Amino acid sequence: KYFTSDEIREKFLYFFEKKGHTRLPSSSLIPNDPQLLFTVAGMVPFKPIFWGKVEPTYTRITTCQKCLRTNDIENVGRTPRHHTFFEMLGNFSFGDYFKKEAIKWAWEFLTEELELPAEKLWASVYETDDEAFNIWKDDIKIPENKILRFGKEENWWGPAGPTGPCGPCSEIYFDTGYTENCPDQENCTPACDCGRFVEIWNIVFTEYYSDENGNLSPLPRKNIDTGAGFERICAVTQGKYDNFDSDLFKETIEEIQQIFGVKFRENKGKDVSIKVIADHSRAIAFLISEGIIPSNEGRGYVLRRLIRRAVRHGALLGAKGPFLNSILETVIKKMGKIYPELIEKEGLIKDISSMEEEKFFETMEKGMERLNNIIQNLNNQATLSGKIAFELYDTYGFPLDLTKEILSEKGIEVDEKEFTELMNKQREMARAASGKVEYDTTKQIYKEIDKFLTLTEFIGYDKLSSTEEVQ
């Protein structure tokens, strides 16, 4: 059965209200949490309660939380189901119900409320979690071969930050039946990364505290933290393989097609650009609505990167100047009913984004001049060295695909091997720098402040790397 995204969001919250949960509005994308740059999951606003530092007012809560993950920036457009900004549906129990109810209700919601076919759902549990395994097998009665045991990498969640609450988790996967990318169709399960199976739901059994060295100790309460990916659930409920084909992105993608005179689903490369713009414009609108402005560090730098990436992909589709405003308008219109801050800040969102766009178009223009000079001096050589392509990337912010596209019009190729070598070298240097120097100095600063203010333990920023590639 077809449900719109607005219906699905409401159905979820109402379903858990009926199960005794109090519905709370989404918290800010900027958490009141010194350990994190952004709200990366629905549990973030409740971290002190899970941790046992704060007593809960309600023991059962349900929310739809605005989230932003920078670790997925490069996945956007390259996987069918990763976003920077996304919404996470959640039901939380603070020392109230535990594994059995959490699993039962997840199943009930998916199969009865959303009417997803039970045979398309699979589950995973943490490798040693027999309790969760048996609930899936004996209470839910799904075939044993559809309950997988995964290790830490997949089925252990948290802490969100260097220390904090965490625990084993149990995930629900949806079988899209899409086997085109699978190397081993006979034996394909959610363990296969071909994309056929979508992780739509994750129930964390939050019962441990992890210290900075990963040592675990029991929390005062046993808790439930459910994170269900809203865009993914919308997509599978609407019979779509790709989140960008759900109704959530429909108007935005229509607007992008209009502006650039392109058609979605006609060309794989262009589709990536369309998806990146559709994704980033949501993140841009929400970040500015929360008072973030582009800058060279922290949250402002993430916003700057998102705008530049969107501009670059716009340029790949033919943009010669700022183009985001009307796309942001469609985002605001689509999401403003649920998130009125977008409507309130519409003017600010558009002004700030177009200022940043303009600046970047100017930089790109300088890069174009440089590139044209280079082309003239190539004297009919058919290949551009990777070194120059890398300079264009590094100094002028030209992604390789942009350089390639411009050159291909003149029948010139790029030495991609050399480019990749230089890129990898830079990445390694950046990684070494951020891993050792930057992180430690940040940490040290916070330790000093900490001593000074006699606050809690130290902290740091979650996954902030100013050198992360923008492409």
Q: Which residues bind ligand ATP (CB under 6 A)?
A: 41, 69, 72, 82-83, 86, 88, 199-202, 227, 229, 231-232
Q: How far is the CB of 202 from Mg ion (least distance, A)?
A: 4
User: How many CB atoms sit inside 10 A of residue 295's CB?
Assistant: 12
Of 21 and 83, CB closest to ligand ATP? 83
Residue with nearest beta carbon to Mg ion: 202
Instruction: Give helix 324-335 / helix 268-289 axis angle, nearest 10°.
Output: 70
Of 199 and 416, CB closest to Mg ion? 199
Residues 156-215 that bind Mg ion (CB under 5 A): 199, 202
155 sits near Mg ion (criterion: CB under 5 A) = no
Helix (H) or strand (E) holding 310: helix 298-316
Residue with tokens 């930089």: 363
334 binds, among Mg ion, ligand ATP, none (CB under 5 to 8 A by kind): none
Q: How far is the CB of 227 from ligand ATP (least distance, A)?
A: 3
Of 176 and 403, CB closest to ligand ATP? 176
299 binds, among ligand ATP, Mg ion, none (CB under 5 to 8 A by kind): none
Of 39 and 202, CB closest to Mg ion? 202
The answer to whether 281 touches 324, Cβ cutoff 8 Å, is yes
Q: How far is the CB of 73 from ligand ATP (least distance, A)?
A: 9
Strands of 38-108, DSSP E: 60-68, 85-94
Of 105 and 396, CB closest to Mg ion? 105
Within the chain, how many helices (H) and strands (E) appear?
A: 16, 11
Of 85 and 97, CB closest to ligand ATP? 85
Cis peptide before 159 (omega within 30 of 0): yes
In terms of C-beta density within 10 A (0-12 exposed, 13-18 middle, 19 or more buried), how is residue 424 classed?
exposed
The answer to whether 42 touches 69, Cβ cutoff 8 Å, is no
237 sits near Mg ion (criterion: CB under 5 A) = no
Site string for Mg ion, 383-412 (x = CB under 5 A): ------------------------------
Q: How far is the CB of 331 from ligand ATP (least distance, A)?
A: 16
Residue with nearest beta carbon to ligand ATP: 229
Q: How far is the CB of 75 from Mg ion (least distance, A)?
A: 8
88 binds, among ligand ATP, Mg ion, none (CB under 5 to 8 A by kind): ligand ATP
Q: How far is the CB of 201 from Mg ion (least distance, A)?
A: 9
Report the DSSP pairing between strands 121-126 and 164-175. antiparallel
State the DSSP string of 193-252: -SSSEEEEEEEEEEEEEE-TT--EEEEEEEEEEEEEEHHHHHHHHTT-SSGGGSGGGHHH
83 binds, among Mg ion, ligand ATP, none (CB under 5 to 8 A by kind): ligand ATP
Q: How far is the CB of 236 from ligand ATP (least distance, A)?
A: 10
86 binds, among Mg ion, ligand ATP, none (CB under 5 to 8 A by kind): ligand ATP
Of 176 and 202, CB closest to Mg ion? 202
In terms of C-beta density within 10 A (0-12 exposed, 13-18 middle, 19 or more buried), how is residue 240 classed?
middle
Of 70 and 202, CB closest to Mg ion? 202
What is the token pair recorded at 454? 């006699």
163 binds, among Mg ion, ligand ATP, none (CB under 5 to 8 A by kind): none
Of 140 and 384, CB closest to ligand ATP? 140
**Sign of CA pseudo-dihedral 54, 55, 59, 61:** negative
Cβ partners under 8 Å of residue 414, min gap 6: 383, 384, 386, 389, 400, 403, 404, 407
Cβ partners under 8 Å of residue 188, min gap 6: 179, 182, 194, 196, 197
Of 44 and 311, CB closest to ligand ATP? 44
In terms of C-beta density within 10 A (0-12 exposed, 13-18 middle, 19 or more buried), how is residue 272 classed?
middle
Helix (H, G, I), strand (E, B) or coil at 383: strand
Instruction: Give helix 298-316 / helix 400-408 axis angle, nearest 10°.
Output: 20
Q: How far is the CB of 155 from Mg ion (least distance, A)?
A: 8
200 binds, among ligand ATP, Mg ion, none (CB under 5 to 8 A by kind): ligand ATP
Q: Which residues bind Mg ion (CB under 5 A)?
A: 199, 202
